[in-house]
Structure 1
Amino acid sequence: MPERPSAAPVLLLSGARLPDGRTVDVRIGGPRIEEVGAAGSLTSPGTRLDLRGYLLLPAPAEPHAHPGTALTAMAQDPPSRRPEDVRRRATEAALLQLSHGATAVRAHVRVGGVQGLGPLEGVLAARRSLRGLTELTAVAVPPVLTGAAGADGLAALRDAVRMGAGVIGGRPDLDPDPAGHTEAVLELAAAHGRPVDLHTDGADPAALARLAALAGGFRPGVCLGPCAGLSRLPYEEAARTADRLAAAAVTVVCLPQGACPCAGLRGTPPVRLLRSAGVRVAAGSGTLRDRTNPVGRGDPLEAAYLLASQEGLSPEQAYDTVSGAARTALGLPGVRVEAGSPAELLAVRGDGLAGALSLAYSRIVVHRGRVAARTSAVREYRDSGAAASALDLPRQGRSDSGPGGGP
């Protein structure tokens, strides 16, 4: 049993169902799982949470969020880039994503130009205020890094790293010299030991191959996204590109829920083709209720649902894109429901993964061994006629809520 930090609270999750069908108790001490046993076998002096009727999963992570513009769809004016306004929106967006299950968020923030470093300052302030609830990491994204216009971008990127940006980003598609742009990002990232996250449509297979070759083998890692243009290529060309991406060991982050303000194309790349070539594919949300996608939900389970329902992935493969693969893309340790694993968990109402992806309303989120968010839904039927009889319901209706009820 892993040693528990002194004074760490103990949390016992009892009667939870796992995707393999087992029903278990899970004892958590501090940020890690201490013990997993058959249902009813574990006891604890701490808090006990009855999870009968819930499916217990590794928590999702959000690899591609844009908090600077989040929740601004209804605003008449362009979104304010003042640090305090960005801090407020980034905080609200991260809490919404936490309620969906994401205990870690990678936030893409534009730096340089007229707005300077104000939006980054706001996101970093949100990160500090959210500590203990969720992990928020900022990606500094300059638009141009080469030529005379690139001097400002390079200076802003260096300042962003000094301020606390955890990831070096870029937009090579918008730079007159995409290869030079990528080289500048990789050079700065290598100097500071930061991972890299590049926005690209992926519509030009030759350009994407050059980008992958430049990034190949870079440590601590490179993400490319949303790569929607790959879906517009002929199959053979897309397959060759997928092989090159696999050889470069980059991660492709797709956005099945919609748009990204830093990309020109919408859509999802051919995830089955990429996965069959050996490319790690993670899924993110992109925009969250801004003008690019006014109905964006920021829900990782919706992203997994779309990959399963529209792209042909199995529920297990689809969920991995928002959990295991997403956590790996963010440089986070993997999560398993076993002793010693990080206590980053999501409990959703339901008895199987397919059902959870289809209709997961009630959720309990555990971050670093503590319940960080809880969403409860009530399903209620009221019909005095034939519908109630057909469903074998009492004529005055039935309400499903709490452990053991409906989704």
Structure 2
Amino acid sequence: MGDSQTPEPGPAAEVPRLLLSGARLADGRTVDVRLGEGRIEAVGTAGSLSPGPRSGHSARVDLRGYLLLPAPAEPHAHHDTALTAPQAAAGAPAPPPSDDPHEIQSRTTEAALLQLGHGATAARSHVRIGDVTELRSLEAVLQARRSLRGLTDLTTVAVPRLLTGLAGADTLAMLRDALKMGAQVVGGCPDLDPDPGGYVDAVLAVASEHGCAVDLHTDADDPARLARLAAAAGGLRPGVTLGPCAGLARLPHEVAGRAADRLAAAGISVTALPQGCCATLEQAGVSGAAPVRLLRAAGVTVAAGSGALRDAANPVGRGDPLEAAYLLASHGEAAPDAAYETVSAGARAVMGLPEVRIEAGFPAELLAVRGRDVASALSLAYSRIVVHRGRVVARTSAVREYCDSAAADLDLPRQSQG
């Protein structure tokens, strides 16, 4: 089961066939790709495919100079706090972000569209419930989700602050209400509850009741706690994801390796955040990223996400999946192709979304970026064309200009595309 529990109407049946011509694939081939009804209809050598029957509507997009890839997804967003980085005068305390539902809906929409422009055609948003906001933030994010249908697939994780003791009883009831409202995943942060084990038990029980996935925030620096969680969560379907698990990187290699083996055996996935911590774990002082290479070697499904997007935890977040992949590659945690896989195939697997390959029959969720291979795309990645459900939903075009004298002196073109 994916993040979306109910089918959503999409525009695929109403849009024309689309031919992506002259695209370069990661394996070096140059191909034409024909899309129809939200899926890839055919892949052929460059120049071999036509847009479609003359009687139907069709369109062509010239992708010469572009690398065509399965679209990335964003597995760990915080849209309810996105774009709220404190703006305080020097020496003055920063004002808290507004909890007005209309502002939250507006910020969620803006953040999701920003991520879509980078290529993420699906996102999983962690939304706090309880405390003073109760379910209002969730309601605002769900409203934004409805308004974004056809552009991007936005799903929600209900994130309660406390779930144990007297203080957690009301929030536990609210968590069940959140799922009835439309939240698709149960989340939370057991590290911040006085009884982390009780918190995990409560989350797993609610997820089992509702048949939904689990996505928990944890620093994961306690091997014994991880072992208990793996034992409790093993076999739960649709599945359990942990993130950012930065604490694993602080453990001795052998200890971290044994913890990774337990996670793999339990079928637990990990979402790493190479850009740093997220707002939910800010109080715990989490920083750094999970040891992706070690986790993948153990057989753990690993996704990479952006986490905080210009909020109190990260005032300069970009929400760009390719940046997350770039950071993994530049830090030596994965080769460029494997790094991109964490934000595409890995992210989609964690989110329960269908696999995407550039082959006939697969979903038409695609990203075209300027470049010849994945490494160059991660290094540059300025111009992008995003395809969701078989139609182009976003374009970014970048042109670099040099002054005439410099171009002449250095024998450079006056303009170049990036």
Bin for the TM-score computed over the shorter chain: over 0.9
CA distance 1:84–1:270, change in 2 (3 Å): same
Taking the TM superposition and a 5 Å limit, the aligned residue runs for 1:323-402 are 323-385=344-406, 388-390=408-410, 392-393=411-412, 398-400=414-416
C-alpha displacement at 1:82, in angstroms? 2.0
C-alpha displacement at 1:371, in angstroms? 0.5
- Indicate the residue corresponding to 2:113 in structure 1: 95
C-alpha displacement at 1:357, in angstroms? 0.4
**Residue deviations 1:205-242, cap 9 Å, x none?**
11111112111111101110011111111111111111
- Indicate the residue corresponding to 1:77 in structure 2: 95
- Indicate the residue corresponding to 2:333 in structure 1: 312
- Indicate the residue corresponding to 1:295 in structure 2: 316
* SS of aligned partner of 1:312: coil
CA distance 1:70–1:6, change in 2 (3 Å): closer
- Indicate the residue corresponding to 2:24 in structure 1: 17
- Indicate the residue corresponding to 2:303 in structure 1: 282
Question: Which of residues 66, 74, 78 in structure 2 aligns to 1:62?
Answer: 74
Match of 1:103, as an amino acid? Answer: T
**Residue deviations 1:38-68, cap 9 Å, x none?**
0001112501000000000000000000011
- Indicate the residue corresponding to 1:210 in structure 2: 228
Q: 1:204, 1:152 → 2: CA distance?
A: 29
**Residue deviations 1:100-147, cap 9 Å, x none?**
000000000010111100100110000000000000001000011111
Instruction: Check if 1:197 corresponds to 2:197.
Output: no
Stretches of structure 2 that go unaligned for 5 or more consecutive residues are 1-10, 53-57, 88-93
Q: 1:6, 1:138 → 2: CA distance?
A: 26
* SS of aligned partner of 1:78: coil
* SS of aligned partner of 2:165: coil
Match of 2:333, as an amino acid? Answer: G
- Indicate the residue corresponding to 1:125 in structure 2: 143
- Indicate the residue corresponding to 2:55 in structure 1: none
RMSD: 1.4
Q: 1:159, 1:336 → 2: CA distance?
A: 37
Q: 2:339, 2:228 → 1: CA distance?
A: 29
Match of 1:71, as an amino acid? Answer: L
Q: 1:393, 1:114 → 2: CA distance?
A: 59
- Indicate the residue corresponding to 2:267 in structure 1: 249
Q: 1:374, 1:6 → 2: CA distance?
A: 22
* SS of aligned partner of 1:188: helix
- Indicate the residue corresponding to 2:4 in structure 1: none
Question: Which of residues 256, 264, 272 in structure 2 aligns to 1:238?
Answer: 256
Match of 2:146, as an amino acid? Answer: R
- Indicate the residue corresponding to 2:171 in structure 1: 153
Q: 2:349, 2:292 → 1: CA distance?
A: 17
Alignment coverage as a number of residue pairs? 394
C-alpha displacement at 1:389, in angstroms? 2.9
Give the conservation status (yes or no) of the 8 Å contact 1:258–1:296: no
CA distance 1:121–1:6, change in 2 (3 Å): closer
My pick for the range that moved more, 57-66 or 180-189, is: 180-189
Q: 1:362, 1:172 → 2: CA distance?
A: 40
Q: 1:297, 1:122 → 2: CA distance?
A: 22
CA distance 1:71–1:148, change in 2 (3 Å): same
C-alpha displacement at 1:393, in angstroms? 2.4
- Indicate the residue corresponding to 2:91 in structure 1: none
- Indicate the residue corresponding to 2:162 in structure 1: 144
- Indicate the residue corresponding to 2:42 in structure 1: 35
Q: 1:157, 1:310 → 2: CA distance?
A: 38
Q: 1:301, 1:388 → 2: CA distance?
A: 34
Match of 1:147, as an amino acid? Answer: G
C-alpha displacement at 1:312, in angstroms? 3.4
- Indicate the residue corresponding to 2:343 in structure 1: 322
- TM-score scaled to structure 1, two decimals? 0.94
C-alpha displacement at 1:258, in angstroms? 2.0
C-alpha displacement at 1:6, in angstroms? 5.8
My pick for the range that moved more, 170-179 or 248-257, is: 170-179
**Residue deviations 1:165-195, cap 9 Å, x none?**
0101121111122121111111111111110
CA distance 1:37–1:197, change in 2 (3 Å): same
**Residue deviations 1:230-287, cap 9 Å, x none?**
1111111111111111111111101001220112211111111111111111000000
C-alpha displacement at 1:358, in angstroms? 0.4
Q: 1:96, 1:5 → 2: CA distance?
A: 22
- Indicate the residue corresponding to 1:403 in structure 2: none
C-alpha displacement at 1:399, in angstroms? 1.3
My pick for the range that moved more, 90-99 or 68-77, is: 68-77
Q: 1:88, 1:271 → 2: CA distance?
A: 34
Question: Which of residues 96, 99, 112 in structure 1 aligns to 2:130?
Answer: 112
* SS of aligned partner of 1:159: helix
- Indicate the residue corresponding to 2:202 in structure 1: 184
Match of 2:409, as an amino acid? Answer: S
Match of 1:175, as an amino acid? Answer: D
Question: Which of residues 23, 26, 33 in structure 2 aligns to 1:26?
Answer: 33
- TM-score scaled to structure 2, two decimals? 0.92
Give the conservation status (yes or no) of the 8 Å contact 1:53–1:349: yes
- Indicate the residue corresponding to 2:243 in structure 1: 225
C-alpha displacement at 1:74, in angstroms? 4.0
- Indicate the residue corresponding to 1:48 in structure 2: 60
